[in-house]
Amino acid sequence: MVGKTWAVARLTLIEALRRKVFAVLLLFTLALLSSALFFPSMELSGRLRLVESWALRAAGLFAAIVGLFLAGFALPSDFEQKRIYLLVTKPVPKSIVFLGRFVGYAALLTVFLGVMGLLIALF
- Rounded average pLDDT over 30-51: 72
Percentage of the chain lying above the pLDDT 90 cut: 0
Distance in angstroms (rounded) separating the CA atoms of residues 104 and 11: 8
Judged against a pLDDT cut of 80, whether residue 111 lies above it is answered with yes
13-35 per-position pLDDT tens digit? 888 777 777 777 778 777 777 77
* Model confidence band, residue 41 (pLDDT cutoffs 50, 70, 90): low
Give the predicted TM-score (pTM) of the model: 0.73
Half-sphere exposure of 89 (CA within 13 A, CB side): 5
Mean pLDDT score of the chain? 78
